[in-house]
Structure 1
Amino acid sequence: MYLINDQPYFLQPSNRQQFDSEPNKSTTSNYPYEWATDLSPVATQQPGLLYIYPQSNTGLTLTHRYMIKRADIVTPESSATIPWFEDQDYLVTATAMRLMRVTDDTRYPGFEADAMRMLGVHLLTEGDEQQVVKEVKLDPRRFRIGGSLRPTKIEPW
């Protein structure tokens, strides 16, 4: 998302193959409407790259929200690293629940309900979309409003 005159514009995600197939002409001037990432530099401990299309000839400040992916603990049995999941109580409850399932313990249903309640809090705060209505729409990269019109013709105010 970026702002121009306090008007938000949202970029549509694209994969690198689709992004590379876009025409790259110096005469293409429009507000950016598409973005793609290149994570190949991450393998060499460099930051990933974010590309926008078409390239803007003005300076833009983009806001890009993301969720980090924590690295796995390679040897958890001998590592002193604290697991990435911040709710230790859930980990203990879920482990006990699974052991109770294996041993046919009668307390299993109660522990399962507790574990699901504890995990539900984290799923909702981490972007879980179970309670959100899904909107079906055309691919905005192929069916753009106004097509090739200049942005001033689409939004004249």
Structure 2
Amino acid sequence: MSIEARLAELGITLPAPAAPVAAYVPAVEANGLLHISGQLPFREDGSLITGRLGQDVDVAAGAEAAKRCGVMLIAQMKAALGGDLDRVERIVKLGAFISSTPDFTDQPKVANGASELMQAVFGDAGRHARSAVGVPVLPLGAAVEIDAIVAVRPL
């Protein structure tokens, strides 16, 4: 089954990939790896999920924010790979940054929103290494930001 068919089966519609908000590019392909800049959690209506875990965002809402970051990561993959998601060989690593209070320690549960999405979409190739780090603040007040390293097949 193609990745596009799997996305349709899961009911996931990819948004247009987010444009950079500063001096960087969304993705760089080098030596068989696609490095994707940090993506923020945009809802389907385009609004940004903001707040801090442990303060005004609970774990379930944080996991949904992480999932929305994952959807944007896949949108960036598609754009960087000329529309061909079947070039994805493996999700190598996700780096999850969770805006949280000093006493919040469930960052891994929040990051699972993106990790579980990658496995649902890419199967075993979606299993990856990961970091989940609490930070005091993220760009635009986002609740979560996630970057990725993806192994890709050559053209």
Which bracket does the TM-score occupy, shorter chain normalised?
under 0.3
TM-score by length of 1: 0.23
TM-score by length of 2: 0.23
Structure with greater proportional helix content: 2
Structure with greater proportional strand content: 2
